[in-house]
Amino acid sequence: MTKGTEPVEGMDYFMQLEYHELLCPVVRRYAEALRAGKLIGHRCPKCGLVYAPPRGYCPIDVIETTDADEVQLADRGVVTNYTVVTPVQYYGQEETEPFAKVSIQLDDPGGALSLQDVLEVPVDQVRVGMRVEAVWAPPKERDTGEIGNRSFGSAAGAIRGWRPTGEPDLPADQIMQAAF
């Protein structure tokens, strides 16, 4: 069985580079916590800023943070900004319809996650100030295989997305000062 009878005029090339990267301890601990249904972060002992996920350092104070600085984070928060992506059908693109990626300022003790998915809300109704809560994947379906050393902010594979809590929106001026 051969393909076609027309002259062969093109040749498909498929360049692929696959590499494996050791996860640093702080990322491994973060991924383990996600699989256990917990979001964790580090609170800088000097400036008090909460990093989610933990980085193992505070870039502002230039000091190391350790397990001693670990805090469990809330899985509820407020949308502080968002981007609507209209997908172009390049190779590998799985999305076909416009979708939103949002940043979420988490409730106390704080921390912020970026590039999160919103569930149960039409794209044109995503807005700053919307109160949301995490929708966790069932424990057996949590897969943190995509979390790498540079995937700051990702909870992919453990949290499916964030849905509205139904609480009133937070006025935008209350979150203007919330910096990532």
Partner 1 sequence: MADEIPTTTHTIEFPYTRTLGPVFSAFLTGMRDGRILGIASRDGKILCPPTEWDPWTGDALEPTLTEVGPGGTVETWAWVETPTRKHPLHHPFAFALIKLDGADTALLHAVDAGTINAMETGMRVTPRWKDERIGHITDVEAFVPEALGA
Q: Applying CB under 8 A, which residues contact partner 1?
A: 1-4, 7-23, 28, 31-32, 91-92, 144-149
CB of 2 to partner 1, least distance (A): 5
Neighbour tally for 81: CB within 10 Å:
14
Tokens 């295989």 label which residue?
A: 145
CB of 71 to partner 1, least distance (A): 22
Q: Which is nearer to partner 1, 103 or 144 (CB)?
A: 144
Buried b (16+ CB within 10 A) or exposed e, 105-136: bbeeebbbbbebbbeebeeeebebebbbbbeb
Q: Which is nearer to partner 1, 17 or 68 (CB)?
A: 17
Q: What is the DSSP letter of 128?
A: T
Distance CA 92, CA 101 (A): 18
DSSP strand pairing (76-85 vs 57-58)? unpaired
CB of 147 to partner 1, least distance (A): 7
Q: Which is nearer to partner 1, 148 or 171 (CB)?
A: 148
Q: Which is nearer to partner 1, 31 or 134 (CB)?
A: 31
Q: Which is nearer to partner 1, 90 or 97 (CB)?
A: 90
Contact between 148 and 23 (Cβ < 8 Å): yes
Give the helix/strand (H/E) hosting 42: strand 40-43
CB of 67 to partner 1, least distance (A): 17
CB of 157 to partner 1, least distance (A): 11
Give the helix/strand (H/E) hosting 32: helix 25-35
